Structure 1
Amino acid sequence: MTAAALDHAGPWTEADYFGLGESTSRIELLDGSLIVSPAPSGPHQQIARRLANAMEAGVEAAGLAVMEAVNVRLRPGRIAIPDVVVASDDELGVFEAAEVRLVAEVVSPGNAAADRVVKMQLYALAGIPWYLLAQETPPEFRLFRLQAGHYVEHAVADEGDRLRLIEPFAAELAVSEVIRPRKR
């Protein structure tokens, strides 16, 4: 965290938030407050990278782009940084929720509640059509689709299975290729 952030008084605006610049911490803006998390662990980052790579061909064929850890404006004053984002290609530095087709979060023991409850609700309120949870232990994918303002479970794939997507892009995601056992 920068010294400017520690000296800040009052609610944070988007201008204040973007004024922080780049950081090794994951800093999100939630209705005037900063939510600060340490950088994800190596295994967490590897899962996010492999997930984005597994999606890439299908995403590009659908005329979309896949990115890791980018700013998504869920509404004014609410900026999240999902692990993986599928959206229309944009080079402005912040993606509007209306441009986002799917967000994915890698669930780790330290962030499970945030990903399964808080972020899921925030992404649904923003109208993002698809939400994918990639869980490390036990290895699985859970895909949710937005229906009447809430996410409903669409498909589950366990270790050894493949998650087949036809929307918002076509892809087959092999759980065991994305979520590999940790080397000890």
Structure 2
Amino acid sequence: MDSVTGASVTPLTEADYLAMGDGHHRVELFDRGLVVSPAPDLRHQRVVRRLANAVESVAAPVGFCVHHGVNVRLGVDRIMIPDLVVTDADNEGAILDAERVALVGEVVSPRNSGVDRVLKMQLYAIARIPWYLLVEQDGDSHSLRLHRLDGAHYVEDAVAKAGETLSVTEPFRWAMDPSDLH
């Protein structure tokens, strides 16, 4: 029984999760429970696409693949769907293992800001993903916050607000003004 909602809770395995198939919601598996979110709004999707295109233009020539909205296995019965995934893996499977991921990115939405800024940041760090990029949305402007894994936690490595440039040298060379995400 869920202590918050009073609903009956049935633990799920990764096999149960995968058997659910595709739907119109973003469904993530967190410690044998489901986290269900509505599909991102159009603005969110546009920002993710523009970010993925910008990253892919510099990451692909040095051997990385860029995806958005793919399953990433962070551990046993723990599968998240980051907005952006940069990996050295080029496979056709349904799930990408975290050890093959160089960078994940999330576009922070007002309705799930705590999940992206706290929960997912902790889960990605536990899974040892080296880089975590947050795209903050503030009205019509954006900022980029790049975090680097340092031991068991992320530390902020670089920040850029609209009109500034985020410059990255690892895991690939890249520069972007967050204004380009509009």
Q: Where do residues 104-143 of structure 1 align in structure 2 (5 Å cutoff)?
A: 104-137=105-138, 138-143=141-146
In 1, are the aligned partners of 2:68 and 2:85 still within 8 Å (CA)? yes
CA distance in 2, matches of 1:13, 1:95: 17
Q: Which SS does the other structure have where 2:111 is aligned? A: coil
In 1, are the aligned partners of 2:26 and 2:36 still within 8 Å (CA)? yes
What is the CA-CA distance between 1:10 and the residue it aligns to?
2.4
CA distance in 1, matches of 2:122, 2:9: 28
Q: Where do residues 146-165 of structure 1 align in structure 2 (5 Å cutoff)?
A: 146-165=149-168
Q: In structure 1, give the amino acid aligned to 2:150.
A: Q
Unaligned 5+ runs, structure 1: 1-7
CA distance in 2, matches of 1:76, 1:48: 27
CA distance in 2, matches of 1:10, 1:175: 42
Answering whether residue 81 of structure 2 is matched by residue 81 of structure 1, we say: yes
Paired residues, number: 172
Unaligned 5+ runs, structure 2: 1-7
Q: Which SS does the other structure have where 1:52 is aligned? A: helix
1:1-36 Cα offsets, whole Å, 9 max, x none, are xxxxxxx97210011000000111000000110000
Q: Which SS does the other structure have where 2:170 is aligned? A: coil
**Match in the other structure for 2:3:** none
What is the CA-CA distance between 1:171 and the residue it aligns to?
1.1
CA distance in 2, matches of 1:110, 1:173: 26
1:118-139 Cα offsets, whole Å, 9 max, x none, are 0000000000000000011152
TM-score by length of 1: 0.91
Q: RMSD of the alignment, in Å?
A: 1.2
In 1, are the aligned partners of 2:52 and 2:66 still within 8 Å (CA)? yes
Bigger shift: residues 128-137 or 89-98? 89-98
CA distance in 1, matches of 2:19, 2:35: 15
**Match in the other structure for 1:59:** 59
Runs of 4+ in 1 over 6 A off after TM superposition: none
**Match in the other structure for 2:5:** none
In 1, are the aligned partners of 2:107 and 2:135 still within 8 Å (CA)? yes
